[in-house]
Structure 1
């Protein structure tokens, strides 16, 4: 009987105030919960309500083992548990015999689980060529998957720092996306000319 009366009072309060608070006297939405919550199913309002100008958001993620709970993401999970999008920086000292060449550097990042994009780079030394003076050095920098991990290559092909300069150091900034949240689309297009267009939009 007590449970029935409590439920009636709760529903009556909801009907009067249009907002219900659990463990809070100042509910901000139709239902505000101040504490933990467990549910076997959840229904979202359609369309989803926009955040107010003074409201913030929380990214929900599975916490690291052994807890494995759905919780608000925070920086303490890193590096034990990667975020959906990660920024990783490598500083790689080149081979002294070449001074600007990085070949097949293994990041040990699982290529079946993550997608890697080189977002920016830097090199510590000036480079030159001993052939034509009008040539402009263009770096060859890319990430590729091989043997189950992401590898890196960086080189000024046909150019090198002067022999009097110290060995160069590459700074490579990687954006690493968890494939559970990122979609990778591959396509091959045959232009047949100098210009062209995709046969269909890959995403829209």
Structure 2
């Protein structure tokens, strides 16, 4: 009788230890599908199709020292990684600086960037001219007026062009060779939505309103 009770208690203790080990293994185990050495809690070695939503529990902020990567779905339903830290790879947007030297005074009438206007949008974000200017003599007492730099982009023959000028101003020293530094932002039309052109008749007035807002 004593031997039976001892054996019975021993079996219970063994079962408890086994259950604890199994529970502990379940808490810290890693499951692999098509792989014998899973590196995470779940690792799938092959293609996976998800017919539903995926919830991400923790999203860590990006640090300054880290590079960012985007996942893009291609036309054939494949997923590609886009590493924007790669200087030769594709990106969501591009920042391009143009240094244009020795124009006619401070005037750039038409600079062709060669950027395809069908696939991309190009805008100027800032511009500066490095030479001292003087207000030019013209009608309406223009010599007493100030002037601000004018820069813009426009499409001609399928590519983006840049115009830059200081209206009613010119180089103080006409023999100096000036330089424009123009910063531009270029991004794909796939990442933006264009609403087209809206013509606004002001009828000689100073106020107006859109008939239908482009975003309601």
- Structure 2 length normalisation: TM-score? 0.65
Determine whether 1:152 maps to 2:149: no
Select the residue among 92, 95, 99 that pairs with 1:91.
Answer: 99
- Which of 71, 91, 100 is the aligned partner of 1:60? 71
Q: Is residue 189 from structure 1 mapped to residue 195 from structure 2 by the alignment? A: no
Gaps of 5+ in 1: 1-15
Q: C-alpha distance in 1, partners of 2:178/2:158?
A: 28
Kindly report which structure 2 residues correspond to 1:92-131, keeping only aligned pairs within 5 A, or say none: 92-95=100-103, 98-131=104-137
In our comparison, the structure showing a higher alpha carbon Rg is: 2
* Aligned residues between the structures: 172
CA RMSD, 1 decimal: 3.3
CA gap 1:164/1:152 in 2 versus in 1, 3 angstroms: closer
CA shift for structure 1 position 202:
1.1
Check whether the contact 1:100–1:156 (CA below 8 A) recurs between aligned residues. Answer: yes
Q: 2:90 aligns with which of 70, 76, 82?
A: 82
SS at match of 2:190: coil
Using the TM superposition, give the Cα deviation of residue 93 of structure 1 relative to its aligned residue in structure 2, in angstroms.
0.7
5+ residue gaps, structure 2, are 1-25, 33-37, 63-67
Aligned-pair CA distance for 1:73: 2.0
Q: Deviations over 1:101-147 (max 9, x none)?
A: 11211111111110011111111012112324321113221111111
- Displacement after TM superposition at 1:49 (Å): 5.5
Hey, what does 1:141 align to over in structure 2?
151
Scaled by the length of structure 1, the TM-score of the pair is: 0.69
Displacement of 1:178 after TM fit?
A: 0.4
